[in-house]
Chain A
Amino acid sequence: METEELRKIANRVRRRDLQAVFEAGAGHIGGEMSVTDLLTALYFKTMSVDPQAPQDPARDRLVLSKGHTALALYVMLSERGFFPKGEISTFLKYGSRLNGHPNRVKVPGVETNTGPLGHGLPIGVGMAKAAKLDGAAWRTFVITGDGEMQEGSNWEAIMAAAQFGLDNLTLIIDHNRLQQGARLADTNDLAPLAPKLEAFGWAVEEIDGHDMDQICRALSAETVTAGKPKCIVAHTNKGQGISFMSDDVAWHHKVPNEAQYRQAMAELEEAAG
């Protein structure tokens, strides 16, 4: 798929996400806007998945470790055909299977139930190890937030992935520089991330996490270093695509009012062209 088409899908996903947050009166819109381009490239370009056979053993796996941005994943999965698009309107509604954090038992396409931070990468290590044991070609992708890298369990997994030589594992850090309460730099500053991962034995690439060409290239199998797990440090903006949200810590899980919703939607529609 051409990158121009991918950009259109990402824009459509952002608009649907914004509408769902507005209608539900809750969500994590900032981090959803920052991760949308990454998810779009994964589901519409890089990963081999079949919505008709979501449990196909040979499928590529994605673990959205920053599970609080589940809505972006839900919209993506529905766009990709894993369940009807209309179901997005049930997000957070009573009895809906689309709650605030993804559930693999209920939602087709979800690989593991995330929510508590620092869980996804260890699971990704196990997935990649399983593929290695079988000599299978499928790949494992894990997306974490940058604040999430403060969880020690990630570094346990980072050590193990290097030790096991898991070159079929790709970690994408959504590096939007903001965590729930404040900037990373003012909390527990992990930046720069790349040299830390390199020191742990990973192959690391830094990209603009909103540049679709860069994302697709970094995710392609050709850019893997044999014998090393790969980390993509994706420089992103929280609230990307919506001017008054972008790079503002207030929009971690704030809900737009009517006027803000209209402005945000107008901006996204204008970007859609």
Chain B
Amino acid sequence: MLSMKMVRLAAIGCVAAFLSGTTAGTANAAIPESSESIKIAMNNWTSQNVLSYITGQLLEKMGYTVEYIPSDSQLQFQALGNGDLDFQVEVWEGSMAEAFAKSLEGGDVVDAGSHTAVTREDWWYPQYVKDVCPGLPDWKALDACAEKFATAETKPKGRFVGPPADWGKHYSERIQALKMNFQEVPVGQAATLWAELQAAYDRKEPIVLFNWTPNFIEAKFPGEFVDFPDPASDAKCKTQPEYCGAPKSGYLKKAAWKGVQEKWPAAFAVMQHINFNNEQIAKAASMVDTDGLSPEEAAAKWISDNPSAWKEWVPAD
């Protein structure tokens, strides 16, 4: 313990000395308010990683030290509440709404605002399926050629490759409500979805599966969402929500540990200001997924290419 403390003290001293030499003049004298490092949550999809690195590198520019901590997209809320993580740049309505709401209730996590980007999660098919099943993206057209999606287990019903059972989607209920000739086969994780998609795509087999946007999949596989009754216009959706499709524009939020506000107020302000739109996110992700950069490199490149965007978020010197 003692030695840990000493290491920490030494670290604080050195870092402080170092920073006073290099960052004086560029940053507010009060920054960093605390020399401890800000811990940014890293999930396992591209856009989140690139956005996290962008945030982190911007904070580093301001003089903060940043640590990136990999974490499960659901477990992270516990960690955010404990202060083991300080910031999460992508909170998805579709998959995290419940856990996020719960942690907000607990009071240890704060909502750090929304991105302009909207999210959508629903049934999705690759483009070539349209040739097999004319009339798409309407769900009735899909239902009409359900048999083309059938496999040994689901015959004669069509197979819908659904999201992991714990993502809180009620697709089986929707199939029942709409009396569709489909059966949901849930997967255990996202990677399984993509494996199915890749295999079907290579063989040009009809497939309909769960997908969301923004997602790296869009860059690799052209395709579109199935149109279900629109919750915005269809009256039935008020009384019978499973009857309808997902909102076409769900939120994409940021979350922070409540302690960040007091510990690093300036950093918290930046977190609140950070804001991406769909196009930016897709581009950031494709730098990694298509151009083969590492997420760190993609973030650095994005920062040097888009000064006008981030200058609005970070206080000028």
Q: Are A and B physically bound partners? A: no
